[in-house]
Structures are given as structure tokens and as C-alpha cells.
Chain A
Amino acid sequence: MIELEHVVRSTGGRRVVDDVSFSVPAGAFCALVGSSGAGKSTTLKLINRLVPLTGGAIRIGSTDVASLPPEALRRRIGYVIQSIGLFPHWTVAQNIATVPRLLGWSEAKIGARVAELLALIGLEPSYAARFPRELSGGQQQRIGVARALAADPELLLMDEPFGALDPLTRTALAKELALIHRRTKKTIVFVTHDIDMALELADVIAIMHEGRLVQFGAPLDILERPASDFVRAFTGGASLGLKLLGVRRVADRIRVEPTSAGEPVEPSASLAEALSEMVVRQTDRLPVKGENGAPGGSVRLSDLVR
């Protein structure tokens, strides 16, 4: 768990982060969103003390971050940045092994960990001996994520990690990150200005505006009950309905009735996916698989707009 309590950061007489408090449960994926200059990146850097706190406190588990030397703290926290920052003079394996080496792991343990992480991010073992300049941007950022996970940190901080990648690669990496999160159960704090990516990936979203936290909650919660006009405009605007379809799940709209013909959709699918299927199949009714062995049912077009 990570807890921010009345966190303040001021510089040059201006409060860049102004009395921000929220807590992210262990294993949750938290997206920190807001327009540029909202203070989200600074908030992230306050957690690993790349930027010093002016006031308030931050705790990871029961440890106050101020109680550790900054280097020791950072070695316990994974860190991924937009500009990737791989070391160009080191191979992929050496890059991934950065923090384990700082922690003095044995070569055998490091080698095994590098192999394990390459598998996790879906790269061939042969990539270990390559240099960053030989890789595409997407591959480089995969290595960046592997490097952040190398010493098995309890917390992963990501500062617009996919911001510099092309849209296709960005979508692919976001999907992979969701998988990695499901598999590793790391607590993740993810800074982005892309509300769609936050809605897709996050368990909880913190929306910041001009240094303040304006709303904190689950994606559906934020879409259905925006705390202010700013949040409403920022999260949905004219396409709020479509975003809601993207967040709501088929499981919550299932009708227990004899299933109709055709390939059943997963109950975990979003209503947006269900709507897309209906359009493709030219029907207003889809069969749905049962959850955990329960009997299936169906979902109708009218259910989507309820």
C-alpha cells in the first residue's frame, strides 16, 4: 500500500503539488491523470524522492519514505520514464541487471532473473546480448519496464512510459502492461495525460488539476459521478457515453435466459466490445459465457443503455 498524506511541494513560491492525499491499496494500478502542469509528474517524483517534499508525508507500507536514504529507497522502487533512458554502453542484460547489481546479487541469480524478465516482456533470450541502439522504441521501453522490475520491487512508478511511442506500439505495450500487472500483482502508479489509457488500465484514478487532487476513485465511479465540471469535461465531454461503455462490463448486464446462437462473448468484456460485436454480427442480442462455470445467458442492445 502507498499512502500520501497532505503532500505539498512548493518551488519558487508556487505550490506545484498542493495538499494532496490519497492511498493506493497494495497490488492496485493507480493512474495519475491531468493536463500538463497539473503536478502529476512531480507527485510521482516525490514518492521516490527525486524531488524533495516540502510538507506532508508519504508511506510505502508502513515505511515513511523520508526515513530511508534516497538511494536505498529508490532501489526498492521500480522507475520507468518517458525518455526510457537505457544505458547505451550496456547490453540489454546489463541494463536489466542495473538494480540487482547495485544490490550486490550473485551473477547466477542475476542471470536467472534477466532470463525470467525477458520471458515476461516477450523477448527472445538472444536479445540479452544486444545493445539498446539495435532495438525499436517499443522494444527499448519493454526493456525499460523489465529493468524497473528486476529487483522485484513492491512498487512501480511509471512517468508517461508510452508517451513517446507511436499509437500502435502504445496500445500493444498498454495491453502487455495490463498482463504484467495481473501476473506480478505489483502496486503501480502510472502518470499519463491520456484519460482513455487510464480508464483502460487503472483500478483507481487520481485526477489532478493545478497541483490539487480533484477526484480519486474507480474509473466507473469517476465517469458516473464526476466531482466537478472540470472532471466531467476532462474525463468524458461529448463522448462520455462511449467511455462508459468502455468501462462497464458485460457481466453486470447479463440476462439469465436461453443463450442465442453464435460464438458467446466473455463476461469480462466491456459493453463497448459487446456493442461492436452486435454491429459486426448485425444482431441486437449476444450469447454470453457463464462466469466460473455458471450457466451463461445473453445481453441485449437495450441492456447496454440501461
Chain B
Amino acid sequence: MRAPRNAVLLALALVALLALLGSGFITHAPNRLVSGTPFTLWNAPGGWRAGLILTLAVALAAGAFLTPARHHSATIVATASLLLLLLLDTAGVAARDFAAHAPPAARAGLGAAFWVASLSTALAIIDALQRARANPALRFAVALALAAAILALAADGRLDGLSLAREYDVRRSAFAAELLRHCALVAGSVFPALVIGVPLGIFAARKPRSRGGLFAVLNVIETVPSVALFGLLIAPLAALGLSGVGPAPAIVALTLYALLPVARNTEAGILAADTAAVEAARGMGMTTGQIFRRVELPLGLPVFVAGLRIVVVQTIGLAAVAALIGAGGLGTFIFQGIGQYAIDLVLLGAVPTIALALAADFALAMMTPRMGQEP
């Protein structure tokens, strides 16, 4: 047998296969609070689907032996996408089938096999796109098509039987409000962090002697655990006449956390245009404005946007913790779920938080200016 051309794909496909063969695909529980009994893909209802899922997973493993070529990568992306959607649809069908024969309080949850197999499949898609050196537009198209297909499955009611969907169903309006709230918290912290952090970064780049002290302070802030910082802010904010709980301390804390990466990457962006290029630009008669627009900005912006991606993803994640001090957001469901020991409610908060972070990161990556643009 030949050595695999793509060891990553082979590993991912094997992990997915092992998980599907050896662990529970879907879980059944008499109510939402107790852990469910796992059922493997074979024992879960779904008929021909189990066979097709296994066939596609084996096909993916076989894909690892194809010679690296763009059309092969396209086949792998298509196969993996189909597998991902089929996993989701099968889980939905199995859950609906179970719900039809069980009392209303019973729940059908997603098992380990589902999570491992879908994650491996998603990684296989990303890996294939990277190997094919797909341009950003194509990556965007693939991501959009997958998101649209998943939303279509949900809108069609095919996933309604799943516990996660039922948790969502009873909190439909709260979910929309908390999602918006989460986005508002993120925007409300990243924006002031930019307003304060960008000038700090410019200052650090222009005055190297001030750099050490400035970043020492920002580093210390960064090391305070988030829960502690939320708590520490209650007293000073109350002294200022602001509520120590709710969105105010959350936004202050999230802004403080975002300052370090914003300032660091602003500084790095400015220093990215090497001094020789700037000296040459000046010597050839560019004005200060032209040097900034044609040399410093195009060389520094990719570095800055890369930093902004980190800031936004970090803030989306941290904003979930802000629910602890009553700031709202998707973290509300996570902490409610932990309090009630209802894992599906935790997922209702966690999965959209992750999706939001991925979507924001992806959108900013698409906007990153690339080297070699027209002057």
C-alpha cells in the first residue's frame, strides 16, 4: 500500500470513523436534567443513512491517498460537506423518531460520535481548502453555502427533535435578545478599546522609551482573571454613581482586556513599514501624507487587522463570562444551564458564541488587505 499523500485527512477520517463505530451518536434521556443513554449510529433510527455516512467517511479516508491536485481537493471538500450535512440531518431524523415514541419531557441529545465526527469533517474541509490554496472568495462561498444549508435544515424543521432545538424553541425571543446583547457588548468594548488603544500604540511606536512602562501596565491588566476584574470593578463604578453590576462594568472590563492587543498591534503595524522603505519614499519626494497612504498604511494594515481579529475573538469569548455580573449576552444561557445542570442549555449559549467568534474572525480575515495590491 502506498503512503498517504495527506496524513492530516487520513487521521481526521479515521478519528471520525472510530468515533462513529465506537461511541454514541445520539443520547436518549427521560428529561432534560439527567444524562442520556447513548445509542450508536446503528441502533439509532435513520435507516440507510448510517450506511451512507460510513461510506462517505471511508471515501474521505481514501481521499488521503489521492495525488495533491486542485480537482481532488474540490472532491474532498464536496464529500466532507455532504458528510457534515448528512450527520446533522441524521441526528435530526433520529431525534424526531425518538420524540414521536416518547413522552413530551424526554430529550434526544447529540452524542460524542456526532461531535467528534462533525468536528473532524469540518477540519477536513478547512484542510482541503488550504491545500488547494483556495482564494478568499472561494473560501467565503464554501462557508456561506454550508451555513445556508445548515440553516435550511433547521428552518425545514428537520432538527426540531433535538434537545438543543427544543431549548431554543422555548427561549426563541430571549435568544434573539441575548444574541443582540452579546454583539452590543462586543461592539461597545472593541470600539472604545480602538479609540484609546490606537493612539497608545502610535505613541509607543514613536516614543520607544515610553514603550516598556506602557506595556507593563497593559500586561498586568491582561493577567487579572476576568471574573476577578468584573468583581473588582463593582466598588469603583459604584463610587462613580454607576451600577456595579450589569453592562457598565462588563464593558469597562472588556475594554481594558482589549487594550493590550490593540495597542501592541497598532505599534507593530507602524513599525512594519521598515525604515529603509520610508527613507527611500522621502528621498524620492513623497509627501508625509503620501508616505502614510502608499507605504506605511499598506504595510502596517495587515498586521493591525490580524491583531483586530484576535481582539474581536477574545472579546466575544470573554463577553460570555460577563453574564455572571448580569450584563446579559449568550453567557446567560451558559450560566443558567450550569445552574440547572442542563447541558443542552449550556450548548445553546456556547455553540452560538463559538459560531459568532468564527464568523467574526472569518469576516475580518476576508477584509485583510493582501500584499501586492495596486498602489
- Residue numbers of A with Cβ under 8 A of B are 48, 50, 70-75, 79, 81, 83-91, 94, 98-99, 101-102, 131, 144, 147-148
CA distance A73 to B286 in the complex (A): 11
- The complex places the Cα of A102 from the Cα of B290 at a distance, in Å, of 9
Tell whether A89 pairs with B373 under 8 Å between CB atoms, given A99-B285, A102-B290: yes
With an 8 A cutoff between CB atoms, is B148 at the interface? Answer: no
Interchain CB contact (< 8 A) of B286 among A48, A71, A81, A84 = A71
If A72-B285, A102-B284 touch, whether A88 touches B279 (CB-CB below 8 Å) is: no
Q: Is the CB of B285 within 8 A of A71?
A: yes
Q: Is the CB of B371 within 8 A of A98?
A: no
Asked if A75 meets B283 with Cβ closer than 8 Å, knowing A85-B277, A88-B277, A89-B372, the reply is no
Closest chain B residue to A90, Cβ basis: B375
Once the chains are docked, how many angstroms separate the CA of A40 from the CA of B274?
A: 24
User: Which residue of the partner chain, among B275, B280, B283, B285, contacts A102 with CB atoms under 8 Å?
Assistant: B285
Of B279, B282, B294, the contact of A83 (CB 8 Å cutoff): B279
Q: Which residues of B contact A48 (CB under 8 A)?
A: 283
Contact of B277 among A50, A87, A102 (CB under 8 A): A87
Is B340 located at the chain interface by the 8 A CB criterion?
A: no
5 A-B contact pairs sorted by A residue (CB < 8 Å): A71-B287, A87-B281, A89-B371, A90-B375, A101-B375
- B288, closest chain A residue (CB): A71
Cβ proximity bits B256-299 to A, threshold 8 Å, 1 near / 0 not: 00000000000000000011111111111111001000110011
Considering the chains assembled together, what is the distance between the CA atoms of A99 and B281 in angstroms?
9
CB distance from A108 to the nearest CB of B (A): 17
Chain B residues with a Cβ under 8 A of chain A: 274-287, 290, 294-295, 298-299, 371-375
Residue among B275, B277, B290, B372 with most chain A CB within 10 A: B277
A87, closest chain B residue (CB): B277
A71 / chain B contacts, CB cutoff of 8 Å: 285-287
CA distance A75 to B276 in the complex (A): 18
Chief secondary structure at chain B's binding surface: helix
**With A and B bound together, what is the CA distance between A129 and B62 in angstroms?**
40
In the docked arrangement, what's the CA distance between A72 and B286, Å? Answer: 9
Of B285, B295, B374, B375, which one neighbours A74 at CB under 8 angstroms?
A: B285
B residues less than 8 Å from A89 (CB atoms): 298-299, 371-373
A81 in contact with B284 (CB, 8 Å): no
Q: How far is the CB of A89 from chain B (nearest CB, A)?
A: 5
User: B372: which A residues are within 8 A, CB to CB?
Assistant: 89-91, 131
Partner of B283, one of A74, A86, A94, A131: A74
> CB < 8 Å: which of A70, A72, A85 contacts B276?
A85
CA–CA, A71 to B277, complex, Å?
16
A1–chain B nearest beta-carbon distance, Å: 21
Which of A86, A89, A99 neighbours the largest number of chain B CB atoms within 10 Å of its CB?
A89
Among candidates A70, A72, A79, A91, residue contacting B280 with C-beta atoms closer than 8 Å: A79
Interchain CA distance A144-B373 in the complex, whole Å: 20
Least CB distance from A188 to B in Å reads 15
Taking A85-B283, A90-B372 as known contacts, 18 extra A-B pairs with beta carbons closer than 8 A to each other, sorted by chain A number, are A50-B282, A71-B285, A73-B285, A74-B283, A74-B285, A81-B280, A84-B276, A85-B279, A87-B280, A87-B294, A89-B298, A89-B299, A91-B372, A99-B285, A101-B375, A102-B286, A102-B290, A148-B284
Q: How far is the CA of A243 from the CA of B286 in the complex (A)?
A: 42
From B280, B299, B375, contact of A86 by CB (8 A): B280
Task: From A50, A74, A75, A84, name the one whose CB has the most chain B CB atoms within 10 angstroms.
Answer: A74
A140 → chain B closest CB, angstroms: 11
> How far is B286's CA from A1's CA once the two chains are assembled, in angstroms?
25
